[in-house]
Structure formats: C-alpha cells, structure tokens
C-alpha cells in the first residue's frame, strides 16, 4: 500500500519540431521525440527529460514503459543512489534520475548543485551545430553562423575533406570541432585527420565505429580525438586508453546526472578532456548537463537552438552564451 504522501511517477512522450532538418551520417530527423518523467509529491513536481536514441536500441515507447515500470519503487521511496542499481544506464534512467534530483531541490528549496556539493554553473559558450550536407550547402550554413565562436561540424565519410575545407573558408575565425558519427574508415582516417589539422580543427569526435576503433592507437593523431559512441558510463572509460584524448559525456548515455558527474571525475583522473554533449532536445534535457560545464573543455548544449520552439522557462541563450537554468525549469 502507498499513501497520499507517497511520490507518484508519470511519464509522457512529447514531440518538438526541429527548425528545418537535422542531418548526421545516420540520417535526417525533423522532430525531437522526448520522454518526460514527472514525480509528484505534495505541492512539488520534479521533472526530467530524455531522448531515446535508436543507435542504442531505444525507442520513446520503450523508454516510457521502462519509466512506468518503476512506479512502485518510486512510490516506496526509491532515491537516486538506489536507482543506479535498479535500472541499467539508459535514456529512461536519465529522465528518472534528473526528476528525482529536481524534486529533491524543490522540496528543500535549494539548488541542485548545492545538494550535490558541486560548483554553481556559470554562463558558458556552447558549440553550434552545422548539419551534414554537400560542401556548398554546409558552407552556406556555416557562413550564416560564422559569428559564433565555436562550431560543431557534422561529417559523413566520403567527401569530408572537401566539407572541412569549405567550412573553414566560410568561418575563418571560429573554433571548429567536427563529428564524424562513426562514418570514417581505417583507410580514410589519416587523410581526414590531416585535412582537419590543415583547417585548424581543435577536436574530432568519434571518427571510427564503436568497437572498431583500434586504428586510433596505431597512428600519430595530429588532432585530439573524442569518444562519443565508444563511451557511455564509467565502465567504458578504461577501454579508451591510447585511442582517445577526450570523452563526450551525455546524460542519456550515462543514465543520468548522478553517473555523469562520477564519470567526469573518473575521466579527469585518467587525463581525458571532457565534452558535455546533448541530443537534440529541449532545455529540460540541457539544464542538468550544465552542472558538468565547470569540468568541461567543450560545451555542446545547443539542442534548443535547433528546435522550432523550446518549452516554457527554457535556458537563456545570448548568441552562443548559455546561462544556468532558472529554478522554474529544473533544479
């Protein structure tokens, strides 16, 4: 039996139109389909959002079902620490982890970073993503965004040397990071890395498929390489030795902020730089990730900038400067 004073968990699927289209090496999407977890207790409601990712076998329906399966445990007092063992690392666990922390912050009238003993996040510069396309199309999109200090360029394999050169010409002053989303091969790796070096690219994200990235340890890397699909939570960090220089920590991969913060500490101890990343989602997904920003070399939290509209009380963006969340949004 549960009482009226027991927390009640609900979960719903939401659809958020993307402004235009968002294209990477695996395809094009026109909307972000997110799953929101809400935990109500008394006058307070804690919220968390996730974006289930097909690359990892996740679906919105599956994530919603996984959340609803946790209702009894939540009603009986499940906390963030017990959650880590109760669910595997996945997008659904992220939504629940963040909802539990949001509820704790609201009930205690304290900010989430204070509860966690973490530094208060400050406004930081986020990358702005240029979708994959022809060199000409990408150059046009880059020229419009060339005033932004940090651009993240989506690449796709064949033709990437031309894309890199075209983008750099269109944005001569911006810092560039590129994301191949596993689209390169061992045969193209050194050629593409050399093109990135010539263009002054700072970081190359996930050039080779996860599980088939041995070639990264066999070459001299002229540009720092960041793991994304090859790294999920702390258990996957050790396998990056000799292959990667940085890790992209995303809450949907790590299974929530609780694990993501521990993962950032462990990555730093291994000498790895940190990128805090995101899926294309609303500010409710970005807000918890802001707590990772003080440890990160790169911030990639531009999801709401790619949407046709954001939710109420969304993060405040001034150009590429993103501010910490208001308590009305999260935490």
Query: In the structure encoding, which two tokens stand for residue 206, read together?
Result: 């996930």
Q: What torsion do the CA atoms of 150, 154, 159, 163 make, to the nearest 10 degrees?
A: -20
User: Rounded to whole angstroms, how far apart are CA atoms 10 and 143?
Assistant: 44
Read off φ and ψ for residue 275, nearest 5 degrees.
Answer: -110, 130
250 is catalytic: yes
**Pairwise CA distance, residues 304 & 52, whole Å:** 17
253 catalytic residue (yes or no): no
Dist CA 295 CA 122 (whole Å): 12
Q: What angle do CA 124, 128, 131 make, to 5 degrees?
A: 160
Task: List b or e across 299-322, with b for residues whose CB sees 16 or more CB atoms inside 10 angstroms.
Answer: bbbbbbbbbeebbeebbebeebeb
Active-site residue among 152, 154, 169, 253?
A: 154
Q: Could you give the CA distance from residue 179 to residue 223 in angstroms, rounded to a whole number?
A: 13
Half-sphere exposure of 70 (CA within 13 A, CB side): 32
Q: CA 36, CA 99: separation in Å to the nearest integer?
A: 9
Q: Which of 106, 152, 250, 253 is catalytic?
A: 250
Q: What is the signed CA dihedral for 38, 40, 44, 47, rounded to 10 degrees?
A: -10
Tell me the catalytic residues. 154, 250
């Amino acid at each position: 039996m549960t009482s009226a004073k027991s927390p009640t968990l609900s979960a719903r699927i939401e659809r958020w139109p993307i402004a235009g289209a968002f294209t990477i090496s695996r395809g094009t999407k026109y909307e972000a389909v997110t799953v929101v977890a809400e935990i109500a207790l008394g006058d307070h409601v804690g919220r968390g959002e996730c974006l289930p990712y097909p690359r990892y076998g996740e679906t919105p329906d599956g994530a919603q079902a996984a959340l609803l399966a946790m209702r009894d445990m939540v009603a009986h007092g499940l906390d963030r620490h017990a959650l880590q063992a109760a669910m595997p690392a996945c997008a659904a666990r992220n939504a629940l982890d963040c909802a539990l922390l949001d509820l704790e912050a609201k009930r205690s009238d304290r900010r989430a970073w204070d509860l966690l003993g973490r530094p208060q996040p400050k406004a930081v510069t986020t990358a702005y993503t240029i979708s994959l396309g022809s060199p000409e199309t990408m150059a046009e999109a880059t020229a419009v965004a060339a005033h932004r200090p940090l651009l993240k360029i989506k690449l796709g394999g064949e033709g990437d040397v031309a894309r890199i050169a075209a983008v750099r010409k269109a944005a001569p002053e911006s810092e560039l990071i590129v994301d191949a989303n596993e689209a390169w091969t061992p045969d193209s790796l050194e050629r593409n890395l050399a093109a990135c070096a010539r263009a002054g690219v700072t970081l190359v994200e996930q050039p080779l498929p996860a599980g088939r990235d041995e070639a990264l340890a066999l070459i001299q890397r002229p540009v720092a390489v960041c793991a994304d699909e090859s790294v999920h939570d702390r258990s996957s960090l050790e396998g990056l030795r000799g292959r990667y220089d940085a890790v992209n920590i995303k809450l949907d991969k790590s299974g929530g902020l609780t694990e993501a913060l521990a993962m950032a500490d462990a990555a730093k101890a291994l000498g790895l730089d940190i990128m805090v990343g995101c899926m294309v989602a609303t500010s409710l997904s970005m807000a918890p990730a802001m707590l990772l920003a003080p440890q990160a070399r790169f911030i990639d939290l531009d999801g709401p900038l790619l949407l046709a509209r954001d939710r109420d009380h969304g993060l405040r963006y001034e150009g590429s400067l993103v501010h910490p969340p208001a308590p009305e949004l999260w935490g």
